[in-house]
Amino acid sequence: MKVLDIDFIRQQFPVFQTELGQKVGFLDNAGGSYVAGAVIDRLTDFYTNYKVQPYGANPISNQAGEAMDEGRSTMAALLNVPMERVTLGASSTQNFNTLTIACTPLVQKDTEVIVTEQDHESNIGGWERLCQRQGATLTFWKVNPETGELDLEDLEKLLSPRTVILCVTHSSNIIGTINPINRIARLARQNNTRLVVDGVSYAPHSWPNLDELDVDAYVFSTYKTYGTHQGVMVVKESFLEELEPQCHFFNVPYPYKQLDAAGPDHAAIAALAGIGDYFSTVYEHNFGSSGEVPLHEKARVVSALMHQHETELSAYLLDHLKDLPVRIYGRSTSDGREANIALASPKVPAKALADGLVAYDVAAKNGHFYAYRLLETMGVKDLNDGVLRISLSHYNTREEVERCVKGLGELLYQLEF
Ligand SMILES: Cc1ncc(COP(=O)(O)O)c(C=O)c1O
């Protein structure tokens, strides 16, 4: 069985050549990952050599346009979708907001949008505002307050002929549970409801396989997948046709511009090609020359190796956390969940734990992580203090996780008030 060569992986991230990068066990990856060297190289190249308005006839401007096209086409190839279907925006929140406004023709008076209590606010708030403006109903698919999980039987009861859009996260940024998107999609299809999926928390752990996911829109953020700060939104052609374009009228003929109201960050788009370089490099290191293998295949195979490594680390972490006086939010084993693990102590504030871990050279964060409604339903009283979230990436080591466990074990008893 292949295993991830962690030394090789860490060589691909310049941060691990810095003093702090070596010292700190960075376990706040769900907030934003480290950036692969291949991405930084592309960014530096753009800023150094052709940071001008792109697509002009002169060679400098022309190179800028070519680099941007490569960034876009690489992202499309990584996802195995036509370039025309990929919207690149400043962030996922911005993409969701634009999408909600573009859905105005669908969300009319007496229609309904269903969102979940499990989602990050970025896939709730915009829909709420849209429903308020349109006189439509916003309905919450509620979670089980103990587990934080969603039950498909509840969804079946909620869906009705009025439900035009259903929004759900692929995996929760708090409890980590992976939702069965295709089972959800089947229910949505039977009901003629469009399905919008937030993949922000899922994509850093498992590269999305859009060939298998039957969704109308899929959204994630590349600053969490080792890239530049961009939001990616893939929209099905049939869905896009139902939407009101949000771009300048003369850009309407270009589907990838329809949901991008702003001028894009040229360099950040160009540097997305570096994510493809990174997956290719790791693929070649593990499986040899990759000339014929399509980029999306490489990403999926490499991502499976990364996932296996993260799952081993999260299994170790969960196994040790269960002996500590904390509530773990979500499943207590690594089955069916990604490596985002949130916990809280009944006695020690989450902030005190995050602060205390600094002395152990461990970076983790506390808060509600914009999953405010989920934590409220799960009974968190002080939402600003929230929970401590330990979120792993494939470049984390067993030693870093062990240090975190040791730190938590000591802090929970030292800080008890
Ligand atoms: C699950 C989830 N969805 C959406 C977002 C919003 O992404 P962005 O910061 O790109 O707007 C985040 C950000 O942390 C997230 O974790």
Asked whether residue 287 is domain-assigned, the answer is: no
In the predicted structure, residue 292 carries a pLDDT above the cut 80:
yes
pLDDT tens digits for 318-365?
A: 999 999 999 999 999 999 999 999 999 999 999 999 999 999 999 999
Q: Which residues contact 382 (CB under 8 A, 6 or more apart)?
A: 349
Asked whether residue 189 is domain-assigned, the answer is: yes
| C-beta of 90 in contact with ligand 1 (< 6 A) | no
DSSP 386: B
Is residue 18 domain-shared with residue 95, that is, in the same domain? no
In the predicted structure, residue 262 carries a pLDDT above the cut 80:
no
Give the total number of structural domains in the chain: 2
Is residue 315 domain-shared with residue 336, that is, in the same domain? yes
pLDDT of residue 277: 98
Is residue 72 domain-shared with residue 106, that is, in the same domain? yes
| C-beta of 122 in contact with ligand 1 (< 6 A) | yes
State the sign of the Cα–Cα–Cα–Cα dihedral 372, 376, 378, 381: positive
Asked whether residue 6 is domain-assigned, the answer is: no
Residue 415 pLDDT class (50, 70, 90 cuts): confident
| C-beta of 221 in contact with ligand 1 (< 6 A) | yes
The last residue of a domain, from among 274, 309, 329? 274
CATH number, domain containing residue 202? 3.40.640.10
pLDDT of residue 179: 98
Is residue 107 domain-shared with residue 237, that is, in the same domain? yes
CB 27 within 8 A of CB 364: yes
Is residue 321 domain-shared with residue 363, that is, in the same domain? yes
- 186: exposed, middle or buried (Cβ count in 10 Å: 0-12, 13-18, 19+): middle
CB 260 within 8 A of CB 89: yes
The last residue of a domain, from among 225, 244, 274? 274
Is residue 265 domain-shared with residue 134, that is, in the same domain? yes
Residue 234 pLDDT class (50, 70, 90 cuts): very high
Q: What is the mean pLDDT of the chain?
A: 97
pLDDT of residue 395: 98
**Which of 28, 29, 87, 92 has most ligand 1 atoms within 8 Å of its beta carbon, as the pocket-test mutant?**
92
**205-227 per-residue burial string, b: 16 or more CB within 10 A, e: under 16:** bbbbebeebebbbbbbbbbbbbb
Asked whether residue 61 is domain-assigned, the answer is: yes
Q: How far is the CA of 308 from the centre of ligand 1 (A)?
A: 24
Q: How far is the CA of 175 from the centre of ligand 1 (A)?
A: 15
pLDDT of residue 417: 63
Give the DSSP per-residue string, 207-254: ---TTT---SEEEEEGGGTTS-S-EEEEE-HHHHTTSPP-S-GGGTTS
Asked whether residue 179 is domain-assigned, the answer is: yes
Q: How far is the CA of 101 from the centre of ligand 1 (A)?
A: 18
Asked whether residue 99 is domain-assigned, the answer is: yes
CB 348 within 8 A of CB 416: yes
Domain that holds residue 342: 12-35+295-414
What are the phi and psi torsion angles at 218 (to 5°)? -130, 130
Q: How far apart are CA 154 and CA 123, in angstroms?
A: 19
Which token pair is 407?
């730190």
Locate the ligand 1 atom nearest the alpha carbon of residue 221 and give its number. 10
Q: Which residues contact 277 (CB under 8 A, 6 or more apart)?
A: 36, 38, 39, 41, 42
Q: How far apart are CA 312 and CA 16, in angstroms?
A: 21
Is residue 266 domain-shared with residue 375, that is, in the same domain? no
Is residue 344 domain-shared with residue 233, that is, in the same domain? no
Is residue 53 domain-shared with residue 149, that is, in the same domain? yes
In the predicted structure, residue 219 carries a pLDDT above the cut 90:
yes
What are the phi and psi torsion angles at 280 (to 5°)? -65, -45
Asked whether residue 279 is domain-assigned, the answer is: no
| C-beta of 173 in contact with ligand 1 (< 6 A) | yes
Is residue 351 domain-shared with residue 396, that is, in the same domain? yes
Is residue 135 domain-shared with residue 240, that is, in the same domain? yes
In the predicted structure, residue 220 carries a pLDDT above the cut 70:
yes
Is residue 213 domain-shared with residue 342, that is, in the same domain? no
Return the residue matching tokens 């429903």: 131
| C-beta of 169 in contact with ligand 1 (< 6 A) | yes
Q: How far is CA 343 from the centre of its chain?
A: 20
Asked whether residue 5 is domain-assigned, the answer is: no
DSSP 245: P
CATH number, domain containing residue 318? 3.90.1150.10
pLDDT tens digits for 202-215?
A: 999 999 999 999 99
